[in-house]
């Protein structure tokens, strides 16, 4: 495994981070038990993964807790979240603290390494900063939180508007960012600031369903070409990302997607989700491979660097 330091937090983290949400939720959505999901978490830890990301809405904190019973707590970095605005209702500071306390209980731990506010949109930011952040700092002083961060919601905020504001406020030590081969806006909107200020970055959406579905890739790129958003020749191809797969390049489009995100300057941890051990090993292997050839990276930037909001599938009923 390869490790890096998560911004100025001082946390030493694996570049491959285990996300327990997504479409599979560690297999819980496809019928696995919590014990089976916990076993997958332990498999990841055996591969050197030491960053585990969860959230109450994922329903996986219990599985994480079962895995933590078998891991020295100081050998893993655990991140969870709290929502502040759902179903047109604002969460009070007391409710956010209660969510934190419940996460601690479910995972059987005394502290959360990174506590993120979940899916903050631009219109929610003032409430996050003015009303919720102060109580998070109180919980940090009590030792229940080590570091405070927030995650954007790229499904609706695909120009990083919330993060553009948040990165100016020193309370946030970590930011979770949506970034992939056809959604590259964070390169200009986020990473220059996080690198300059030492804000740790967690990357979500590096691989979404679009890259695992070749016919869909072709279909969506054809639609983009019809709108004049990508070159016409790409829309005429049945394999428009095939140029990435070659000797010396990527083994597959998914392999290319992970390596593209992993080696972007400014990226600390690339999160991935999985529901089975073979997929787990394949994802980790891709994240540990070298960067894509510079010519391929340049081609991706030239072809798709201007696109916004492509392939950002949601899994919580919050469509763009």
> What pLDDT digit, counting tens, does each position of 168-198 carry?
999 999 999 999 999 999 999 999 999 999 9
Quickly count: other Cβ atoms within 10 Å of residue 294's Cβ.
Answer: 8
pTM for the whole thing?
0.93
Query: How confident is the model at residue 312, as a pLDDT?
Result: 82
Query: Are residues 3 and 11 in contact, defined by beta-carbon separation less than 8 angstroms?
Result: no
Q: What is the rounded CA–CA span in Å between residue 81 and residue 24? A: 18
Section 249-264 average pLDDT: 97
The closest alpha carbon to 158, from 215, 224, 204, 196, belongs to: 204
Exposed (0-12), middle (13-18) or buried (19+): which is 10, by Cβ within 10 Å?
A: exposed
Section 20-41 average pLDDT: 89
With bands split at pLDDT 50, 70 and 90, how would you rate the model's confidence at 314?
A: low
Query: How confident is the model at residue 50, as a pLDDT?
Result: 98
Q: What is the rounded CA–CA span in Å between residue 285 and residue 47? A: 10
| DSSP bridge pairs for 116 | 81, 149
The closest alpha carbon to 211, from 250, 177, 249, 176, belongs to: 250
Chain segment 123-136, per-residue pLDDT in tens: 999 999 999 999 99
Section 246-270 average pLDDT: 97
What mean pLDDT, rounded, does the chain reach?
94
Q: 243 or 319, which is more confident? A: 243
Query: Are residues 82 and 56 in contact, defined by beta-carbon separation less than 8 angstroms?
Result: yes
Q: 297 or 26, which is more confident? A: 297
> Where exactly are the structural domains of the chain?
3-208+265-289
Q: Decide: helix, strand or coil at residue 176.
A: strand
Region of poorest pLDDT, from 6-20, 26-40, 193-207: 26-40
Q: How far apart are the first and last CA of the chain?
A: 35
What the block records as the tokens of 116 is: 């993120």
Residue 27 confidence (pLDDT) above 90: no
Q: What is the rounded CA–CA span in Å between residue 154 and residue 62? A: 26
| DSSP bridge pairs for 202 | 176, 269
Q: How many CA atoms lie within 13 A of 269 on its CB side?
A: 31
With bands split at pLDDT 50, 70 and 90, how would you rate the model's confidence at 30?
A: confident
Q: What is the rounded CA–CA span in Å between residue 21 and residue 101? A: 20
What the block records as the tokens of 101 is: 């306390």
Query: Are residues 267 and 179 in contact, defined by beta-carbon separation less than 8 angstroms?
Result: yes
Query: How confident is the model at residue 23, as a pLDDT?
Result: 77
Query: How confident is the model at residue 320, as a pLDDT?
Result: 30
Q: Which CATH architecture has domain 3-208+265-289?
A: Alpha-Beta Barrel (3.20)
Chain segment 41-97, per-residue pLDDT in tens: 999 999 999 999 999 999 999 999 999 999 999 999 999 999 999 888 899 999 999
- Nearest 5°: the CA angle 224, 228, 230 is 60
Query: How confident is the model at residue 316, as a pLDDT?
Result: 43
Share of residues in the chain with pLDDT > 70 (%): 98
């Amino acid at each position: 495994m390869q490790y890096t330091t998560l911004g100025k937090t001082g946390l030493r983290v694996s570049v491959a981070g285990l996300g327990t949400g997504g479409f599979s939720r560690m297999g819980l959505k496809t019928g696995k038990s919590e014990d089976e999901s916990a076993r997958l978490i332990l498999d990841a830890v055996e591969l050197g993964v030491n960053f585990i990301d969860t959230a109450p809405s994922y329903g996986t904190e219990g599985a994480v807790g079962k895995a933590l019973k078998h891991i020295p707590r100081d050998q893993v970095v655990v991140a969870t979240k709290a929502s502040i605005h759902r179903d047109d209702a604002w969460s009070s500071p007391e409710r956010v603290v209660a969510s934190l306390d419940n996460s601690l209980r479910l995972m059987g731990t005394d502290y959360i390494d990174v506590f993120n506010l979940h899916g903050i949109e631009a219109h929610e930011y003032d409430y996050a900063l003015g009303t919720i952040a102060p109580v998070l700092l109180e919980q940090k002083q009590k030792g229940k939180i080590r570091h405070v961060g927030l995650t954007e919601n790229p499904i609706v905020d695909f120009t990083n508007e919330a993060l553009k504001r948040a990165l100016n406020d020193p309370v946030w030590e970590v930011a979770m960012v949506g970034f992939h081969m056809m959604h590259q806006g964070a390169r200009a909107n986020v990473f220059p600031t996080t690198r300059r200020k030492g804000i740790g970055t967690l990357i979500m959406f590096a691989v979404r369903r679009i890259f695992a579905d070749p016919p869909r890739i072709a279909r969506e790129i054809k639609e983009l070409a019809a709108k004049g958003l990508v070159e016409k020749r790409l829309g005429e191809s049945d394999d428009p990302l095939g140029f990435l797969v070659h000797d010396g390049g990527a083994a597959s489009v998914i392999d290319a997607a992970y390596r593209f995100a992993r080696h972007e300057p400014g990226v600390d941890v690339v999160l991935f989700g999985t529901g089975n051990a073979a997929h787990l090993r394949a994802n980790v292997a891709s994240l540990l491979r070298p960067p894509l050839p510079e010519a391929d990276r340049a081609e991706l930037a030239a072809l798709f660097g201007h696109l916004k909001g492509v392939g950002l599938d949601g899994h919580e009923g919050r469509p763009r």
